[in-house]
Chains A and B, each alone.
Chain A
Amino acid sequence: MMITQLFLLFFRIGLFSFGGGYAMLPLIYQGANELTGMTAEEFSRLVALSQVTPGPVAINAATYVGYQSAGIPGATVATLGVVLPSVLLVFIVSLFLVKFKESEAMKAVLSGIRPATVGLLLSAVIFLAQGSILTGMQLNLLPVVFFVVVLFISGKFHADPILVTVVAGVAGALVIR
């Protein structure tokens, strides 16, 4: 019974949470609290853990809640549940995109959406900077050094982002702790 409920809960979360990742967390907390009685304290551990583990936050959260309430089967169905709506919706939308790709109106709409997406990515920079290189208006020295170095090697030499991430992780473990 728990297995079915876990699947339905995470399917619902996958289907109704727009904005991905952190925007999904409140929904996950409410659902997990109702279904498994997860406490706020345990939830904050889940958030901390999903930040320091690889992969999408929503997947980490689904696996965590699923495992805590019903072991490996629970972890598996919760993860499948949160992914499944994406599979269905991306398929529907990409069929639609392919069908209208050559239409002039669709090209016009996309030509407006692309610059909006550039603005969106740039806004992500501001949000992520907060709590990393900035705390309020104050600069955090070591993270700023990391930021500047990466900006330089990535902007100037087109360094591989995955390699940069791994090196930054190792350097952070040694220096920032």
Chain B
Amino acid sequence: MKELWQLFITFLKIGSLTFGGGYAMIPAIRRETVTKRGWTDEEGITDCIAVSQSLPGAFAVNVAIFIGKQVKGIPGAAVACFSLVFPAYLTILIILMFLGTIEDNVYITGAFEGIKAASVALILVTSVQLGRGILKSKTAWAIAVLSFIAIVLLSANAIYAIVLGGLIGYIQYRYGKRREVENR
């Protein structure tokens, strides 16, 4: 019960206080689930990002379900998913029913500009911190650089970068194993 309550509070907070969805939610999700709650580690959250990005649907929703399930099975997934989605749903309903046009309000656009600029920095810090733990070999660096180039310069879909990374990992494993056998 305690874990379900923690999942509820954590994802409700993430769902209500992060804007723009997707990657903008990653720094908060990492902070809350890895640093604060210890539900997973840096590798675990990276795997979770990769899987969520490779599946269809809203990225942050996939992440919430993935972590919720890991912490407390089906009830955990249901609670995490609900509490992430509910603030988004409720805000839109309130705006449509009671508030009308808010997106032209100068204070709101200003707030959003501030938040956008902050998220760019937050995601940069998150990727550098995750990178420190993960980029420990030349192959790992090469894969990261290739994936960055493919997505930014060649406009490749992120899924291809992830599949390519997995493929290189697998090939290295097969090749590495054969070499080990030959050395015996």
Is B7 at the interface (CB under 8 A from chain A)? no
Known: A109-B170, A116-B143, A155-B125. A122 touches B148 (CB 8 A): yes
Q: How distant is B72 from chain A, measured CB to nearest CB, in Å? A: 13
Q: Which of B31, B84, B102 contacts A162 (CB 8 A)?
A: B31
Contact in complex: B170, A105 (CB < 8 Å) = yes
Query: Nearest CB to that of A84 among chain B residues?
Result: B57
Q: How distant is B8 from chain A, measured CB to nearest CB, in Å? A: 15
Known: A67-B93, A161-B27. A150 touches B121 (CB 8 A): yes
Within 8 A of B (CB), among A2-56: 14-22, 24, 45, 48-56
Contact in complex: B55, A86 (CB < 8 Å) = yes
Is B4 at the interface (CB under 8 A from chain A)? no
In this complex, which of A93, A128, A146 has the most chain B Cβ atoms within 10 angstroms of its Cβ? A128
CA distance A175 to B16 in the complex (A): 23
Contact in complex: B118, A150 (CB < 8 Å) = yes
Is B169 at the interface (CB under 8 A from chain A)? yes
Known: A49-B95, A169-B111. A132 touches B19 (CB 8 A): no
Is B6 at the interface (CB under 8 A from chain A)? no
| A 68-107 to B, binary, CB cutoff 8 A, 1 in contact else 0 | 1000100110010011011101110110010000001101
Is A119 at the interface (CB under 8 A from chain B)? yes
Contact in complex: B118, A91 (CB < 8 Å) = no
Q: How distant is B64 from chain A, measured CB to nearest CB, in Å? A: 9
Contact in complex: A124, B23 (CB < 8 Å) = yes
Q: How distant is A122 from chain B, measured CB to nearest CB, in Å? A: 5
Query: Nearest CB to that of A14 among chain B residues?
Result: B57
Contact in complex: B151, A150 (CB < 8 Å) = no
Contact in complex: B173, A83 (CB < 8 Å) = no
Known: A18-B56, A114-B134, A128-B123. A94 touches B69 (CB 8 A): yes
Contact in complex: B111, A128 (CB < 8 Å) = no
Contact in complex: B50, A117 (CB < 8 Å) = yes
Q: Which of A58, A94, A173, A175 contacts B57 (CB 8 A)?
A: A58
Q: Which of A24, A72, A97, A176 contacts B114 (CB 8 A)?
A: A176
Contact in complex: B173, A105 (CB < 8 Å) = yes
Known: A58-B21, A125-B123, A162-B13. A115 touches B147 (CB 8 A): yes
Contact in complex: B24, A109 (CB < 8 Å) = no
Residues in B whose Cβ lies below 8 Å from that of A60: 21, 88, 91-92
Which residues from chain B sit less than 8 Å from chain A, CB to CB?
A: 13-28, 30-32, 43, 46-47, 49-62, 65-66, 69-70, 77, 81, 84-85, 87-89, 91-93, 95-97, 101-103, 106-128, 130-131, 134-135, 139-141, 143-152, 157-159, 161-162, 164-170, 172-173
> Can you offer 23 A-B residue contacts whose CB atoms are under 8 A?
A20-B59, A53-B91, A54-B88, A55-B21, A55-B85, A55-B87, A94-B66, A108-B173, A113-B166, A115-B134, A119-B145, A120-B161, A124-B123, A132-B113, A132-B116, A143-B114, A154-B122, A155-B128, A161-B122, A165-B18, A172-B115, A176-B111, A177-B109
